Amino acid sequence: MTEFERWLGEGFVQLNTVFEEAYFAAGQEYAPDLGQEEVLHEGAKRLPGLEREHSLEGDRYRLLGSVGLYLAACARHRVEDEEVLAPAWALATRLGTSLGVAPRYVFAHQSLYGFRTFTSLPDEQAFVRLNGLAVVAYERAAHALRLVATTGVDSPVVEHLLGEARRALEDVLSFNRVLAETVDPQRFYLGIRPYFRSHRVGTQVYRGVNAGDFAAVNEIDLLLGLCRADDPFYQRIVAEKLPYVPPDHQTRLHQAVLVEPLLHRFLREPLYAGLFLDVCRAHGAAYALHHGRLVKPFLEAQAGAEQDVTASGPPLSVVVAELAHLVDLRTARPRAGAFGAHEELRRLAELV
Ligand code: HEM
């Protein structure tokens, strides 16, 4: 481990924790004049060592996460001094270009490439842990469904795989429910969300990140057939996400838009259609919970009339409307003038 990375796990966390406690005590997202420049300078001091000690040909994605965590904290504490940050911006850009990803930290760096938090506060620890667990559960479901696609929908092995996918999606729902019950919405809003926001790397601003920046959820959508790769709304969701997922997830998204939906295959060979419909219901239920128990109380209710609070940049009402459209797709609720799988699912249910 490099000196920079050791600092990220120790001094960096201590500084962020002190500032977050002060902001929270003031009931604000930010408070000036607390000495936040220390984060900027302590990181900058160690950065030359990082390049020396770390082979850029090694674990570049993890390294991008390290530089990115530092940059996100500087943006969060409003200490983005151009001159001081220039070397960090240059390194992040070089790593991002070589990997074909946005040159910033994304959620995968926190929960899939090690376990890293900005502070030692219990709410952030719980948030990152439970979020990571939900992502891992989505991965299990996607893995099982990919195997259904290759095994063939009438294989006796499919019964087990569909059960595995359903259980994994039920786990997503449980982890998200525990998150909703454990993390304090105000702590999330004032002290966790601000690290996820858009920030500058060099001359360009990169959008903020969220817990949905991984491939599995979209693989599940497309494999099940609840969302379609030729639906312009959904095409935009996937294309927009590409630079914000790890390189291997990009490859998986490229493949996911080419697969034939399992829904069509089960309509032709409905032997295990009942189990397939259970998986669809579990996916819809988990995502409906994301909307009702996370987006609404943790973001909408906290924001009040404030609109400029989302990770990605558009006004909150636009983001929430887009997420509501995704809820309709994943729960197969008909939506006027838009694609939805309700009719095909109804036909499949008749075959069970
Ligand atoms: C307090 C907790 C959470 C809140 C407030 C929240 C809110 C949001 C918001 C507002 C977005 C839209 C991104 C934007 O444009 O800003 C989003 C996206 C997303 N979130 Fe969450 N989220 C939370 C936790 C989670 C967790 C634990 C998961 C599970 C892995 C998750 C899965 C997703 C997914 C998959 C997307 C991408 C859009 C999609 O494909 O549905 N979120 N979330």
- For residue range 258-275, list pLDDT tens digits in order: 999 999 999 999 999 999
Ligand 1 atom at minimal distance to the Cα of residue 221:
40
Residue 208: inside a domain, yes or no?
yes
211 touches ligand 1 (CB under 6 Å): yes
Residues 133, 208 share a domain: yes
Residues 245, 192 share a domain: yes
179 touches ligand 1 (CB under 6 Å): yes
For the chain, count helices (H), then strands (E): 17, 2
Residue 40: inside a domain, yes or no?
yes
Residues 8, 57 share a domain: yes
133 touches ligand 1 (CB under 6 Å): no
Residue 111: inside a domain, yes or no?
no
Residues 288, 245 share a domain: yes
Residue bearing the CA closest to ligand 1, atom 1: 294
311 Cα to the center of ligand 1, angstroms: 10
CATH of the domain at 100: 1.20.58.600
298 Cα to the center of ligand 1, angstroms: 11
Using pLDDT thresholds of 50, 70 and 90, give the confidence band for residue 57: low
129 touches ligand 1 (CB under 6 Å): no
Q: Are the C-beta atoms of residues 331 and 225 closer than 8 Å to each other?
A: no
212 Cα to the center of ligand 1, angstroms: 5
Q: Are the C-beta atoms of residues 342 and 225 closer than 8 Å to each other?
A: no
Residues 233, 172 share a domain: yes
The count of residues in the chain is 352
Q: Are the C-beta atoms of residues 165 and 145 closer than 8 Å to each other?
A: yes
Range of the domain at 90: 3-105
Sequence letter at residue 126:
A
33 Cα to the center of ligand 1, angstroms: 32
Residue 164: inside a domain, yes or no?
yes
Residue 171: inside a domain, yes or no?
yes
311 touches ligand 1 (CB under 6 Å): yes
CATH of the domain at 345: 1.20.58.480
Q: Is 259 exposed, middle or buried (0-12, 13-18, 19+ CB in 10 A)?
A: middle
Residue bearing the CA closest to ligand 1, atom 7: 295
Domain boundary among 105, 137, 160: 105
Using pLDDT thresholds of 50, 70 and 90, give the confidence band for residue 58: low
Residues 131, 88 share a domain: no
* Candidate of 253, 294, 310, 318 to mutate for ligand 1, largest count of ligand atoms within 8 Å of Cβ: 294
pLDDT at 55: 67
Residues 144, 55 share a domain: no
Residues 170, 45 share a domain: no
Using pLDDT thresholds of 50, 70 and 90, give the confidence band for residue 69: very high
Residue 114: inside a domain, yes or no?
no
What domain count does the chain have? 2
Number of C-beta neighbours around residue 235 at 10 A? 14
In whole angstroms, what is the distance from residue 329 CA to residue 346 CA?
Answer: 14
Backbone angles phi, psi at 132, to 5 degrees: -60, -45
Q: Are the C-beta atoms of residues 229 and 125 closer than 8 Å to each other?
A: no
pLDDT at 70: 98
Q: Are the C-beta atoms of residues 90 and 202 closer than 8 Å to each other?
A: yes
Residues 132, 77 share a domain: no
Domain boundary among 77, 105, 133: 105
* Candidate of 124, 188, 290 to mutate for ligand 1, largest count of ligand atoms within 8 Å of Cβ: 290
91-103 confidence digits (pLDDT tens): 999 999 999 999 9
pLDDT at 304: 82
pLDDT at 18: 98
Residue 115: inside a domain, yes or no?
no
Residue 110: inside a domain, yes or no?
no
182-227 confidence digits (pLDDT tens): 999 999 999 999 999 999 999 999 998 888 999 999 999 999 999 9
Residues 311, 193 share a domain: yes
Q: Are the C-beta atoms of residues 351 and 237 closer than 8 Å to each other?
A: no
Q: What is the largest CA-CA distance in the chain?
A: 67
256 touches ligand 1 (CB under 6 Å): no
Domain boundary among 47, 75, 105: 105
pTM above 0.85, yes or no: yes
Residues 321, 251 share a domain: yes
Residues 149, 10 share a domain: no
197 touches ligand 1 (CB under 6 Å): no
157-178 confidence digits (pLDDT tens): 999 999 999 999 999 999 999 9
22 Cα to the center of ligand 1, angstroms: 27
